[in-house]
Amino acid sequence: MNLPNKLTIARIVMIPVFVVVLLLKYYYAAAGIFVLASVTDFLDGYIARKYNMISNFGKLMDPLADKLLVTSALVCLVELGDIPSWMVIIILSREFTISILRAVAAAEGKVIAASKWGKAKTVLQMIAVISILIRNYPFELLNIPFSDIALWAAVILTIISGIDYIVKNRIFFMDKGDEQ
């Protein structure tokens, strides 16, 4: 297993630790773990591209690890009353839809790698989660609702990226007789 894939696995292993720390309401410690896990996302992609270590495992597991990390954070933040559930439902609906799309494509021997919209969505979701975890610091000092703005932007970009994946890969939603 190459280094980028090991970093992806490390990110997945950090998730239960992050969840426990967050649910114990150690927000800043949870933010530190979340940031560390998020950095592995950047590093695994950077190393894989720079050293030509891109693998099908990485193409499938890296986006899944991101989804698991962000989803865990969002569900916990709903549980703690920090964010509205309807926003998380929109985000999770997109994530499940695209995961199913990827599974259908994989069954046909195709791999759908993360798009620029999907990557931007993930980064924005991570920024939103981090800003919520650090309680909007330092923006609360200036009375700027950065966490709210970031979360709204993440939801909007989540919708845009979901539509982009569906439109570009609609062939996987069709019956074989519909392709003509």
Distance of alpha carbon 93 from alpha carbon 159, whole angstroms: 10
Does residue 77 carry a pLDDT above 80? yes
Helices (H), the chain: 3-23, 27-50, 56-79, 85-107, 116-133, 146-168
Q: With beta carbons less than 8 A apart as the criterion, state whether 114 and 62 touch.
A: yes
For residue 8, the model assigns a pLDDT of 95
- Per the listing, tokens 């999907």 go with 118
Written as six digits, the tokens of 133 are: 């975890």
Give 90-132 pLDDT, tens digit per residue: 999 999 999 889 888 888 888 887 789 988 998 999 999 999 9
The average confidence (pLDDT) of the chain is 92
Burial group, residue 66, by CB count within 10 angstroms (0-12, 13-18, 19+): buried
- Per the listing, tokens 């989803």 go with 71
For residue 177, the model assigns a pLDDT of 57
Find how far residue 7's CA is from the centre of its chain. 15
Instruction: Identify the residue with better confidence: 9 or 179.
Output: 9
Instruction: Identify the residue with better confidence: 139 or 60.
Output: 139
Instruction: Identify the residue with better confidence: 5 or 119.
Output: 5
Q: Classify domain 3-170 at the CATH superfamily level.
A: CDP-alcohol phosphotransferase transmembrane (TM) domain (1.20.120.1760)
pLDDT band (50, 70, 90) for residue 88: very high
For residue 38, the model assigns a pLDDT of 94
> What pTM was computed for the model?
0.88
For residue 134, the model assigns a pLDDT of 97
Q: Which of 85, 69, 65 is nearest to 19 (CA)?
A: 69
